[in-house]
Amino acid sequence: MNDTEYEGFRKKVLERVWTDLAPFEERIESEEQIPYAEINPVITDLGLWGLMVPEEYGGLGLTVSQYLPILSELAKVHGGIRVVVHVHNSNAHALSVLGSEEQRRAVLPGVAGGTMSIGFALTEPDFGTGADLGSIAVRDRDEYILNGRKHLISNSDFATHFIYFAKTDPDAGELGVSAFLVERGASGLAIEPLPETMGCKGGEHGRITATDVRVPVQNLLGQEGQGVAQLEETLELSRVLVAASSLGTAERALELAVEHSRTRVTFGKPLAHRQAVQRYIAEMAQDVYALKLMLSDCARKWDAGRRIPAEASMTKNFGLEAVGRVTDRALLTFGGIGYTRAHSIERLYRDARLNWLEEGTPTIQNMVVARALVGGYTIEDGW
C-alpha cells in the first residue's frame, strides 16, 4: 500500500473505529463478551483482519510503521477489541514467516477475510516458557502424536488453527522444541474457557488440552528443533506491537486527563491551574513522547529488514512501565470519580495491566536484552 492509499485508509479506519466500535464499550464491559455478530462486519469491512497478511494472500500487507498507529487507536477504543485484532494479525504474521508456501496458501486467505484465525499455543499451566514445556510430540510414521496442556491462549474461542509448541526431543533442551499447525477440529483437542480477565474484557483466553492428537507431518512448521528460534523471531515483533498497544492506552488516558483538568473546577479554579496536576500531565506527556520515539525506531529498523531483539524487549518493557505510570497519574487527576465507571479512565487503567504480561513478563524482557548485549549485539543509535 503506497503512502497516498495508506493515508486514505488510515483516516477511514480512525474515524470508523470511533463511530462504529467505540459505542460497544459499555456493553462489552457489562456483559464481558464481545458481540462478534455486530462487530465482525465492521472489522471485516475495514480490512482489519488482514492488516498484517501479505497482499499475495489477500491481506493489506501493511508495514509495521503503517500498522502501529491503527493498533494504538484500537487500544484507545477498547482493550478487548484491540486484543482480538492484535492476536489475529500477530499470529497471521507468524505463519507468514514460519509456514511453508502450502501452509500459507491453505490458511492465510481465510485469515485475511476473517473466516479463519490462528491462536498461539505456547503458555502452559505447569511449566515456564521457551524450552520449559510439558507438551510432547512423538513421531509415528507420517504423523506426530501430540499430548500436553496449554492455557491463557488468546482468541481460543474462534481460532480455527493453533501454532502449537511441543518437545520433539525432550533431552535436547532448546534444540528439542518444534512448532506445529494444529487444526481446531483435530480429534483429541479440547478447548475450554478460563475465567474472565481483569481488563481488556470480552476476548477469550482459554485452556487447550491435547490428548493423543494426531498431526500430519506436513503440519510441522519448518524443521524439528527450530521451535525456540521460531518463537524468538515471532515474539520479537509481537513485543513491539504490545508496546504500541501500551501507547494507545497511555495516549487516551492523557487526553482524558487533560480534558478533565480543564473542566473540573475546585475552590474556584480548574484543576489544570494547579501545580500538582500540571506535573502529572507533564510526566504523562514525557512517557508518551518517549514511547512514541522508541516505537518509531523499532518500526523503521524492522521495515528495513533488521532483527531487533534488544530494542523490541526494551520497548515492550518501557511501554508497560510508561502506561502504568500514565494511567496511575490519570486516575489521580480524576480523583475518586475516576475509580467508577462514570469515565473511561477506569477501563483504561485495567486494560493497561494486561500489557505487563503479554509476550513475556518484565523479567523475561530483561533476560532477552541482557543476553543479546552480552552476546555481542549492538544497538545502533540511528542518527
Q: What is the CATH number of domain 119-225?
A: 2.40.110.10
Between CA 263 and CA 178 the distance in angstroms is 56
pLDDT tens-digit map of 317-373: 999 999 999 999 999 999 999 999 999 999 999 999 999 999 989 999 999 999 999
What's the mean per-residue pLDDT of the chain?
Answer: 96
Q: What integer pLDDT is reported at residue 128 of this predicted model?
A: 84
Q: What integer pLDDT is reported at residue 382 of this predicted model?
A: 53
The domain limits of the chain are 3-116, 119-225, 228-374
Q: What integer pLDDT is reported at residue 381 of this predicted model?
A: 66
Between CA 348 and CA 254 the distance in angstroms is 11
Q: What integer pLDDT is reported at residue 154 of this predicted model?
A: 97
Q: What is the CATH number of domain 3-116?
A: 1.10.540.10
pLDDT below 70 — which residues of the chain? 381-383
pLDDT tens-digit map of 306-319: 999 999 999 999 99
The catalytic residue positions are: 359
Between CA 256 and CA 343 the distance in angstroms is 9
Q: 228-374 architecture in CATH? A: Up-down Bundle (1.20)
**What is the pTM (predicted TM-score) of this model?**
0.95
Q: What integer pLDDT is reported at residue 3 of this predicted model?
A: 86
The reply to whether 3-116 and 228-374 are identical in fold is no
> How far lies 256's CA from each of 110, 115, 266, 346, in Å?
38, 36, 18, 11
> How far lies 275's CA from each of 255, 259, 272, 282, in Å?
18, 16, 8, 10
Classify each residue of 340-353 as buried b or exposed e, where b means 16 or more C-beta atoms within 10 Å of its C-beta. eeebbbbbbbbbbb
Helix (H, G, I), strand (E, B) or coil at 149: strand
Helix (H, G, I), strand (E, B) or coil at 310: helix
Task: Please provide the DSSP assignment of 324-346 as one string.
Answer: HHHHHHHHHHHGGGGGSTTSTHH
Q: What integer pLDDT is reported at residue 152 of this predicted model?
A: 96
- Pairing relationship of beta strands 177-183 and 269-270 according to DSSP bridges: unpaired
